[in-house]
A = this chain, B = another copy of it.
Amino acid sequence: MTDVRIAGVGLTRFGRHADRTGRDLFAEAALAAREEAGAPRDDFEAVHYGNFMGALAERQGHQGPLVAEAAGLDAPATRHESACASSGVAVREAVRGIRSGEHDVLLAGGMERMTNLDTAAVTESLAIAADELFEVRAGMTFPGAYALMARAYFEEFGGTREDLAHVASKNHANAVANEYAQYRREVSVEEALDSPPVADPLHLMDSCPITDGASAVVLVSDEYAEEHGIDAPVAVSGTGQGGDKFALQDRRWLNRTPAARTAAEAAYDDAGIGPSDVDVAEVHDCFTIAEVLALEGLGLYDRGEAVGAARRGETTRDGRLPVNLSGGLKAKGHPVGATGCAQVVEMARLLRGDHPNSDAVPDARVGVTHNAGGTVASAVVHVLEVRG
């Protein structure tokens, strides 16, 4: 089967870009990815793009052809939306297009604008990722939902706010070196513990920020890379997607994420690996508890074991399995529609050795990215591997 190679990657700095349009942000990321790949514009056969709340933030739907044009491409373009997993899905659709033999050169990516809205409007806009009838109208917000998940986790498996504070502190430490990160500053465990409460047990420093940004990757078949002399040592060797009941109330568990488990098992099978082969991971830490749930969903930890991972130093940059060396959603930022592809960008650079934190994983061969939508009603997992 065709091997899918990452030929180029691009990001905007994540942060506040309230004065720039979405098309402008995406163009920056896409043109960076295109420049690195070097593939001629006419070779691009499709654009797969993720965006979540553009209808509310920019009054702009139908962004597929809009951003293809911004990226300088004529290729057919589709927007995929799966809440915070939107560009994870976009990357997945591109991977499938090359895998099937249909395409050789594709652009995938995502973009979100959020900071142009006031905080109340952002909160209301994010809420459309939850069930309007049975969650949002009852007052549910995402901090509240993840707080429920944290409480259910603590109740069944143990764990403390201090465990979660270690996750925040770890991810902030990782972001310091990342020039694309929104918050490049250390946060101590004490500072995280002392930050204002948001929804008990989650505090401000358990929560990712509101962010603008864009991400893009150029994916090519290995045949195309070889033929055109493109240096593309990292492959997307596995892809998987999972779903769950939409509303939390309809789930069997609040403290497990079967959608992530389904996606991970599919991606591992696809790549022919198992969780024990994973050297490094980028996971969807929209809240600190989400990183814990992700590590268990990915099978990297047994149930109830991941909550202490950061505290024990296992997932820190000098640990046995560094997690969120980019800084994660927590410190790098979370421009919703850009996040899933951005994880792939960061992982590709980590594995290629040109990420500022690559020195933490000099021998890494296998990385996994985990992108979740809503309260993990949807999840996309990718396996990236160094070839050659």
Contacts and interface: CB of A to CB of B under 8 A. Distances in A.
A184 interface: no
A47 B263 CA distance: 15
Contact of A378 (B65, B82, B259, B373): B65
A58 interface: yes
B55 A55 contact: yes
Nearest to A66: B246
In this complex, which of A75, A78, A80, A241 has the most chain B Cβ atoms within 10 angstroms of its Cβ?
Answer: A78
A145 to B, nearest CB: 13
A248 to B, nearest CB: 12
A97 interface: yes
Contacts of A47: 243
Interface string A226-241: 0000000000000001
A295 to B, nearest CB: 21
A129 B69 CA distance: 15
Nearest to A79: B81
B79 A82 contact: yes
Interface stretch (A130-138, A207-215, A277-285, A351-359): A130-138
Contacts of A76: 241-243, 259, 262-263, 378
A37 interface: no
A53 B77 CA distance: 18
A377 B62 CA distance: 9
Contacts of A81: 61-62, 64, 78-81
Contacts of A65: 82, 243-246, 259, 373-374, 377-378
A245 B73 CA distance: 9
17 contacts: A46-B241, A55-B56, A59-B128, A60-B132, A62-B130, A69-B245, A76-B241, A76-B242, A78-B82, A78-B241, A79-B80, A79-B82, A93-B93, A96-B96, A96-B100, A99-B100, A99-B102
